[in-house]
């Protein structure tokens, strides 16, 4: 398990972090998606974000990232191998984006949501 200072340094160096059972993780493939919008918290101070993460470290995945001047922490994430499944989980759970590990970038879901709204989920 990493120390608080190691996690803080990683967050500052990478504008975020993913923890699995308290350890910093990076994957070479797959996608990270939050499975509950209700578990997302925003903090203006990195130390407040770290305090919240420390209370929830036993959650399977915790994701934190810096977005528009605030630290966003989600304590209910999931790693998914299939992009279609990840996109659908993101949309079903009202997420703005999913994380692409291979390309180390976010995939916004707004366009995918528009397509589903236009054509309907499961319609033929």
Q: How confident is the model at residue 28 (pLDDT cuts 50, 70, 90)?
A: very high
Q: How confident is the model at residue 121 (pLDDT cuts 50, 70, 90)?
A: low
Measuring CA to CA, how many Å separate 43 from each of 11, 16, 98?
13, 13, 20
CB 39 within 8 A of CB 33: no
Domain boundaries along the sequence of the chain: 4-119
Q: What is the mean pLDDT of the chain?
A: 90
Q: Per-residue pLDDT averaged across 14-23, rounded?
A: 92
Distance CA 90, CA 23 (A): 24
Q: Per-residue pLDDT averaged across 77-93, rounded?
A: 94
């Amino acid at each position: 398990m990493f120390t608080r200072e190691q996690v803080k340094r990683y967050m500052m160096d990478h504008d975020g972090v993913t923890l699995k059972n308290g350890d910093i993780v990076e994957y070479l493939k797959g996608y990270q998606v939050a499975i509950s919008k209700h578990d997302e918290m925003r903090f203006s101070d990195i130390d407040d974000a770290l305090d919240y993460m420390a209370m929830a470290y036993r959650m399977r995945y915790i994701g934190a990232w810096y977005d528009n001047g605030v630290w966003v922490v989600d304590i209910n994430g999931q790693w998914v191998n299939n992009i279609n499944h990840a996109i659908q989980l993101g949309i079903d759970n009202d997420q703005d984006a999913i994380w692409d590990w291979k390309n180390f970038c976010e995939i916004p879901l707004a366009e995918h949501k528009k397509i589903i709204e236009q054509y309907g989920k499961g319609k033929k």
